[in-house]
Structure 1
Amino acid sequence: MTPRKPLGFVIFAALAVAAAAFVWFGLPHDREVKSLGIFLVKLLPFVFATEAIARLDVEWAKRIRLVLFLVPPAFLLYFLYFVPKIFFFGGVEAGTREAYYGLYYHVLTVTPFLILSMVLAFRLGGGTAALVRRLAFGMLLLMLSGLEDLAFLTVNDHTDPAYATIPEVWDWASHMTVFLGHPPTKYEAYAFIVVHVVLALAVFFSPQRWWDALKVRFVRTESA
């Protein structure tokens, strides 16, 4: 049974998820607002999510380290679904190669800024320094992992035969190439992704005493 204090948060969080699913999967993705009723329905996920956040019991969230179970998945939803879709529709389908490169650069530049915005909000809300570091460095590892490259190939409906199936060599993945010394094969890319995801999970969920020991060691070095 859910404890009484976080019950309101859980209820409104569930309502937010249900409303978001209805809006995304049950309503057409129109640019124009067709009626006031549809407009208000599309606002429900935001309203429910706001109320869930407002009702969140901070001490309970700190005790179970809820931030580690909410912020990284929220970042991954942005990075593994919306970013590939932005690249696909904004660059591949509708733009020139130069426009695609400009879009790519700007999105990947704003992504670390988004991570820092998340952890800044968490820190200003009373989050500990150790959890700030866990979140920031863990999400950075996820960003650099190549997961987004894989998502780009799998969540979009590619008409280009070169990307209709996952390519045998990922010659565009320069962030992997600089580590490996050559463009990665498909299976090398998979291994690269797995290593980074494991490292990110280790950052998120490693024992707190390891982080405390690093802090003590750094403080001693600083005062020497």
Structure 2
Amino acid sequence: MLVTFLRTNAVTLLAGALAVAGAAYIWLALPHERHITSAGLLLFKLLPFAAGVVAVAWVDQDLARRLRMPLWLMPLCFLGFFCYFVPKILRFANQGDFANAYYHMLTLVPFIILTMLLSFRLGGGASGVVVRLGTALILLQLSGLEDLAFLLLHDVRPIPEVWTWASHMTVFLGHPPSRAEAYAFITVHVVLAIAALTVPTSALRRARPVADGSGA
């Protein structure tokens, strides 16, 4: 029975172990810095999230129903958010420690995304849709929409000519983005997110031979 369980759930178990190990290393071994210093570091920090999406996407739904996972796993996820991240962020904000508050917020967002994906999967969602949603939502987080929303909601006028704080854009552009470059960065990521949600699977399958160099 154990062998059958391991074989049936191999993808979720391996991807989940990778996600936990990667997240633990990043949280415990790397400095809690708000700014990203290189594109490689940013991609490395995204690996646990990617592994987590795979783990969630291939959760055995029959096993989840038998174990009544929605009734205990969702409250656990909520408590992780409510009893750890909320008090931490509020404490840092109260102390004026913006860097730590922002770092915890950046970590919280992928956690919320994975919780949403897990809820969808446990409710019967398809693996492919989980991957699409995970891809689209992390693209939206990385897009810079939050930066733009902050400026607009707090009526910061004029919009800064150079976005010196947007290190996730800087590492890809090689310099702090101008306002126009930031808008373009946001637009590209939003378009990619929409594509991740809407491009038919059949179109991706047709494009694969061309990408492999085997197309006409």
Computing the radius of gyration from Cα coordinates, the structure with the larger value is 1
Q: Distance in 1 between matches of 2:98 and 2:203?
A: 43
Report the AA paired with residue 179 of structure 2.
K
**Which residue among 148, 151, 164 is the counterpart of 2:149?**
151
The answer to whether residue 166 in structure 2 is matched with residue 173 in structure 1 is yes
The answer to whether residue 201 in structure 2 is matched with residue 203 in structure 1 is no
Relative contact order, higher structure (CA 8 A, sep 6+): 2
Consecutive aligned runs of 4 or more in structure 1 exceeding 4 Å deviation: none
The answer to whether residue 186 in structure 2 is matched with residue 188 in structure 1 is no
**Which residue among 120, 123, 136 is the counterpart of 1:122?**
120
Q: Normalising by structure 2, what TM-score? A: 0.51
Q: Distance in 2 between matches of 1:116 and 1:176?
A: 24
Structure 1, unmatched stretches of 5+, are 1-86, 158-162, 218-224
Task: Name the count of aligned residue pairs.
Answer: 118
SS in 2 for 1:133: helix
Report the AA paired with residue 198 of structure 1.
V
Residue in 2 that maps onto 1:78: none
Residue in 2 that maps onto 1:100: 98
Report the AA paired with residue 123 of structure 2.
G
Q: Distance in 1 between matches of 2:121 and 2:173?
A: 36
How much has 1:95 moved relative to structure 2? 5.1
How much has 1:210 moved relative to structure 2? 3.6
Residues 68-125 of structure 1: CA deviation (Å, up to 9, x unaligned): xxxxxxxxxxxxxxxxxxx9xx85xx653xx111110001101001001001111111
Q: Normalising by structure 1, what TM-score? A: 0.49
How much has 1:198 moved relative to structure 2? 0.3
**Which residue among 110, 122, 142 is the counterpart of 2:108?**
110
Q: Distance in 2 between matches of 1:175 and 1:111?
A: 15
Residue in 2 that maps onto 1:31: none
Structure 2, unmatched stretches of 5+, are 1-88, 210-216
Please, what is the CA RMSD of the aligned residues? Answer: 2.2
Q: Distance in 2 between matches of 1:178 and 1:154?
A: 24
Report the AA paired with residue 138 of structure 2.
L
Report percent identity of matched pairs: 55
